[in-house]
């Protein structure tokens, strides 16, 4: 019979590294598998081409490391990235290496896998939509077409990593019977366009330049092989951009379904509590706007692990464990796993979740909530649980500064209740440097201000840079707070709801303000 070996529980064996494609940018294009991997990651290493919104699927306990930003200069070298991956996995951390597009299409996926294989570290590769193919949907360029193109070639326009100027045979590419899609082609456009023409491709071959494909800032410009270099200079095209070369480029409408959405091209800073921010962001996304978020609170370890550990050691004492948020689930479960336990410890208790997001999070740990109220709040849960709470023992896993209501009602119904703080939430004191840079360089069109407290915190964090954007206020009270601080709102919600605030922005946009 196998015997339990306690030392193997506490000394970490290398964890899995997931090489995950994040798709071209639209967070809706993440695969279900990518979301699952992000949910279980302890360490996420991501590229600048990855939309930060996809990181919301990582748990609050995960460490998120950006490997370099195009505007902030330094990018980590391939060796440094591999070292971080190896080190994380060897420390027993589940690592997600998140790459823009598909990890294997010009993503150096193979270079990152080799050292993992050599070190005996388990890995998985999660494919995704590559940017070059996304142009078909988001720009309506039919990259294959029964009359014009029966094949597609994905081509590196700049071969950074090759010693020779080019490994490409332009004689072959010029006569390729289909669509040519150049990645990384901005800097060397003169080289590849000239080489194609010199090898017999017509100078008037249509070209579509597509920047930031699938993002709200997507841009499509049409030209020809002969004019592409001038257009790049004239329109100041910078990466990331794709070049679709072939007759099909002329078949795209000027305004695709994606670009036709009412807030297309608008960038919004959504500030405030996580619940409202999430709702606002989904709504903006469906209208075609990109939303960046500035959280008002930061999630941390609880002030003291001792009561948590004590409860985790004695879970068999309880009839119920109640989770008040998805962060609560993450902190509770990760602590349980770190202490050497697993989901079986919860075999004898029932689980309740305050809302569907919390219940979904339990699913990441292969647990199912026995009770989830239809309405997302503690009162609704109390109404369900108090019915047969008498004589039952409840463990409430919540946040510091969490509400007392559920505990009070359960006690009043005759239950024994142990509230524990499984994570802390503190006010954010420092500005997000990416958001600050975007505000400073005029890249943000609107800022949503969902309360007077949010108004104060935004001004504290960003000061006068806020004047570069327009402010949408949720109510007259919030507008007054903004005016007191010296900022005039450009739109105000009526009624005073988040949905109406989005409508107010929409109206301003449609009025062409």
* CB count in 10 Å sphere of residue 318: 19
Size of the site for ligand SAH (CB under 6 A): 23
CA distances from 338 to 10, 85, 330, 363 (A): 8, 20, 12, 18
Taking the least distance from each CB to ligand SAH, the nearer of 42 and 102 is 102
Whether the upstream peptide bond of residue 240 has omega within 30° of 0, thus cis, is yes
Considering only 233-241, 269-277, 414-422, 454-462, which stretch makes contact with ligand SAH by CB under 6 A? 233-241
In a 3-state reduction of DSSP, which class is residue 286? helix
Considering only 94-102, 225-233, 272-280, 399-407, which stretch makes contact with ligand SAH by CB under 6 A? 94-102
Scored b (16 or more CB within 10 A) or e, 280-305 reads bbebbbebbbbbbbbbbbebeebeeb
Nearest to 424 by CA among 301, 256, 328, 268: 301
Minimum CB separation from ligand SAH for residue 8, in Å? 38
Decide: is 107 part of the binding site for ligand SAH (CB under 6 A). yes
Nearest to 50 by CA among 62, 59, 38: 38
Residue among 170, 183, 365, 423 that touches ligand SAH (CB under 6 A): 183
Considering only 205-213, 222-230, 281-289, 450-458, which stretch makes contact with ligand SAH by CB under 6 A? 205-213
CA–CA dist 330, 62 (Å, integer): 10
Minimum CB separation from ligand SAH for residue 26, in Å? 9
Residue among 85, 210, 352, 482 that touches ligand SAH (CB under 6 A): 210
Residue among 212, 284, 318, 332 that touches ligand SAH (CB under 6 A): 212
Residue among 30, 105, 121, 289 that touches ligand SAH (CB under 6 A): 105
Up-side HSE of residue 100: CA atoms within 13 Å toward CB?
24
Q: In what helix (H) or strand (E) does residue 293 lie, and over which residues does it extend?
A: strand 290-295
Minimum CB separation from ligand SAH for residue 186, in Å? 7
Decide: is 240 part of the binding site for ligand SAH (CB under 6 A). yes
Residue among 67, 116, 143, 213 that touches ligand SAH (CB under 6 A): 213
Taking the least distance from each CB to ligand SAH, the nearer of 100 and 274 is 100
Taking the least distance from each CB to ligand SAH, the nearer of 63 and 190 is 190
Q: Which residue has the tokens 């109404």?
A: 383
Decide: is 126 part of the binding site for ligand SAH (CB under 6 A). no
Decide: is 178 part of the binding site for ligand SAH (CB under 6 A). no
Length of the chain: 513
Decide: is 130 part of the binding site for ligand SAH (CB under 6 A). yes
Residue among 102, 330, 432, 445 that touches ligand SAH (CB under 6 A): 102
Q: In what helix (H) or strand (E) does residue 326 lie, and over which residues does it extend?
A: helix 326-338
Residue among 50, 131, 285, 329 that touches ligand SAH (CB under 6 A): 131
Interactions with ligand SAH, residue window 9-38 (CB under 6 A): 24-25
Residue among 61, 94, 214, 452 that touches ligand SAH (CB under 6 A): 214
CA distances from 314 to 251, 263, 308, 348, 393 (A): 66, 52, 10, 11, 12
Taking the least distance from each CB to ligand SAH, the nearer of 42 and 290 is 290
Rg of the Cα trace of the chain?
Answer: 26
Nearest residue by C-beta to ligand SAH?
101
Contacts of 452 (CB under 8 A, 6+ apart): 477, 478, 480, 481
Q: Are 203 and 125 in contact (CB under 8 A)?
A: no
Interactions with ligand SAH, residue window 241-260 (CB under 6 A): 241-242
Residue among 14, 39, 88, 101 that touches ligand SAH (CB under 6 A): 101
> Which tokens go with 358?
């919390």
Q: What is the DSSP letter of 505?
A: H
Minimum CB separation from ligand SAH for residue 474, in Å? 32
CA–CA dist 312, 306 (Å, integer): 10
Up-side HSE of residue 138: CA atoms within 13 Å toward CB?
28
Interface contacts to ligand SAH, rule CB under 6 A? 24-25, 49, 99-102, 105-107, 130-131, 183-184, 210-214, 239-242
């Amino acid at each position: 019979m196998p015997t339990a070996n306690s030392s193997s529980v506490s000394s970490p064996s290398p964890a899995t590294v997931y090489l995950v494609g994040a798709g071209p940018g639209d967070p809706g294009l993440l695969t279900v598998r990518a979301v699952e991997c992000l949910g279980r990651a302890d360490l996420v290493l991501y590229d600048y081409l990855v939309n930060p919104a996809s990181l919301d699927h990582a748990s609050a306990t995960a460490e998120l490391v950006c490997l370099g930003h195009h505007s902030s200069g330094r990018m980590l070298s391939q060796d440094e990235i591999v070292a971080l991956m190896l080190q994380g996995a060897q420390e027993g951390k589940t690592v997600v290496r998140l790459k823009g597009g598909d990890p294997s299409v010009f993503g150096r996926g193979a270079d990152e896998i080799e050292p993992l294989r050599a070190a005996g570290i388990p890995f998985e590769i999660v494919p995704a939509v590559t940017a070059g193919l996304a142009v078909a949907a988001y720009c309506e360029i039919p990259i294959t077409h029964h009359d014009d193109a029966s094949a597609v070639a994905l081509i590196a326009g700049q071969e950074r990593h090759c010693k020779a100027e080019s490994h490409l045979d332009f004689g072959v590419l010029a006569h390729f019977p289909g669509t040519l899609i150049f990645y990384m082609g901005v800097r060397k456009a003169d080289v590849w366009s000239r080489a194609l023409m010199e090898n017999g491709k017509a100078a008037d071959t249509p070209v579509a330049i597509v920047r930031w494909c699938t993002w709200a800032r997507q841009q499509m410009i049409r030209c020809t092989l002969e004019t592409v270099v001038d257009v790049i200079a004239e329109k100041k095209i910078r990466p990331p951009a794709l070049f679709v070369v072939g007759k099909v480029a002329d078949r795209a409408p000027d305004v695709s379904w994606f670009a036709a959405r009412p807030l297309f091209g608008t960038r919004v800073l959504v500030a405030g509590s996580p619940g409202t921010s999430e709702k606002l962001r989904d709504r903006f996304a469906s209208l075609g706007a990109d939303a960046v978020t500035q959280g008002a609170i930061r999630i941390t370890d609880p002030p003291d692990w001792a009561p948590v550990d004590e409860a985790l050691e004695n879970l068999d004492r309880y009839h119920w464990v109640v989770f008040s948020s998805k962060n609560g689930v993450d902190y509770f479960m990760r602590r349980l796993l770190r202490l050497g336990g697993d989901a079986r410890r919860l075999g004898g208790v029932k689980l309740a979740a305050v809302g569907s997001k919390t219940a979904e999070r339990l699913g990441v740990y292969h647990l199912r909530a026995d009770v989830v109220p239809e309405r997302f709040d503690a009162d609704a849960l109390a109404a369900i649980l108090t019915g047969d709470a008498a004589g039952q023992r409840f463990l409430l896993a919540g946040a510091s500064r969490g509400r007392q209501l559920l505990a009070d009602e359960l006690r009043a119904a005759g239950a024994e209740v142990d509230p524990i703080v499984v994570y802390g939430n503190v006010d954010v004191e420092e500005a997000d440097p990416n958001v600050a840079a975007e505000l400073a360089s005029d890249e943000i069109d609107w800022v949503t201000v969902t309360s007077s407290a949010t108004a104060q915190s935004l001004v504290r964090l960003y000061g006068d840079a806020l004047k570069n954007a327009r402010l949408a206020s949720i109510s007259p009270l919030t507008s007054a707070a903004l005016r007191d601080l010296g900022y005039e709102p450009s739109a105000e919600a009526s009624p005073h709801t988040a949905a109406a605030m989005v409508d107010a922005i929409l109206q301003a946009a449609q009025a062409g303000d």
